[in-house]
Amino acid sequence: MLPTLLAFVGAAFLIAVSPGPSAAVILRQTVRDGRRTALATVLGNEAGVLFWGVAAALGLSALVTASQIAYEVLRFGGAAVLIWLGVQSLLAARRGGGAAPADGADAPRPTPTRWSAFRLGVVTNVANPKAAVFAVSFLPQFVPAGAPVLPSLLALAVLWTLIDLAWFVFVVWVVALVREVFARPAVRRWMEAVSGTVLIGLGVRVVTAAP
């Protein structure tokens, strides 16, 4: 039991630290809007992780993997979200990275509400069909022999969510510490351009990658 649990914790941590759409969006939110907004995005992302974990436990995520239409809808929807966020970042970089405008210029971009940041985290994760495939193939491997399957899968889903949450809270905390460096106009423009390019690249990869 304990070796299986330790193996699961290690695997879940490696999954958390692997770069992907969620990491890119959370980093973008931290640099652009600060710690509180980014943490709301993290909570939304973890709601998505928990959703896929529970769906895998109940067998619902298997429907996504089995239904080509459902898979494609999620795939193209997730790609559209990533590309839209990337275009926003590129436009912000062109405008000057969101720095304070000169007299007579347009007002600066308002900070999004925590609720909208939370929704962004949910959409980024839930609209990723790879998360469904991963959940349905990952969690069952760590159910101990002889243990009740459904309670074990639900417990693993919660633990997976907590590990992912701990990692991204740490990331937000570290990035927020040096956010003043990113707030400089030249650095801010560069960061917006890089994050926009990465997000669009991730969106294109989601569209072009084989199911």
In the chain, the number of structural domains is 1
Domain span at residue 153 reads 2-10+21-98+112-208
Please report the pLDDT score of residue 63 as a whole number: 62
In a domain, 107, yes or no: no
How far apart CA 77 and CA 3 sit, in angstroms, is 39
The residue among 70 and 59 whose pLDDT is bigger is 59
Pair of tokens at residue 77: 């929807």
The residue among 63 and 105 whose pLDDT is bigger is 63
- Cβ neighbours around 83 below 10 Å, total: 19
Q: Which residue has the tokens 């294109």?
A: 204
Mean pLDDT of 129-142: 80
DSSP label of 210: -
In a domain, 185, yes or no: yes
Tell me the pTM: 0.74
In a domain, 104, yes or no: no
Mean pLDDT of 94-101: 55
In a domain, 122, yes or no: yes
In a domain, 106, yes or no: no
Please report the pLDDT score of residue 92 as a whole number: 72
In a domain, 60, yes or no: yes
In a domain, 43, yes or no: yes
CB 86, CB 205: distance < 8 Å: no
Q: Which residue has the tokens 């990952």?
A: 138
3 state SS of 206: helix
Residue % of the chain over a pLDDT of 70: 78
